Amino acid sequence: MNSPEYWTDVYTSLAITNADMDIDFVNDSLGLSGVPSDAPGPFVTTGPGWWAFTFDEQLAQDLDGQIAALVSQVAPRLDGVQRLREAGYAIQVAIAGTVESRAALYMTPEAASLLATLGLPVSFTTLTALGRPQEDPMAWLDD
């Protein structure tokens, strides 16, 4: 039996969306105002209607490490997360990575429990190496 393929380029983010995104309000609510964008560690990226605080493979090589790092940074900021929710912002933990057919993503029960302490929804997004979804997203059922 072949060894399993794993997701690559995995990153874990606190993702915040709102049609009327106020980036300064998000940064202030989470205590991240004034953090230089080139500072080592997790990084903030933004776009129209979204904001993300991201932990990637440079910070932690595996998903469990990224989850632990994210929780250690977000848990002390849960009051700010609640303030954002009350202001109408949608907040989730977004886990994404590049996959090929039959690739697996492993998370230990301990990491899942740690992630659950945040009380936030979690999403999983997969991309192919070309950055597109596979033609048949149900191909994994063929096994």
Using DSSP bridges, classify how beta strands 122-127 and 8-17 pair: parallel, antiparallel or unpaired: unpaired
pLDDT computed for residue 33 by the predictor: 72
User: Could you give all domains of the chain from N- to C-terminal order, each with its CATH number?
Assistant: 8-127 (3.30.70)
Q: For residue range 44-88, what is the model confidence (pLDDT) as tens digits? A: 888 889 999 988 777 777 899 999 999 999 999 999 999 999 999
State the greatest distance between any 2 C-alpha atoms of the chain, in Å, as a whole number: 52
Query: Partners of 8 in the beta sheet?
Result: 98
State the pLDDT at residue 87: 97
What local confidence, expressed as pLDDT, does residue 79 receive?
97
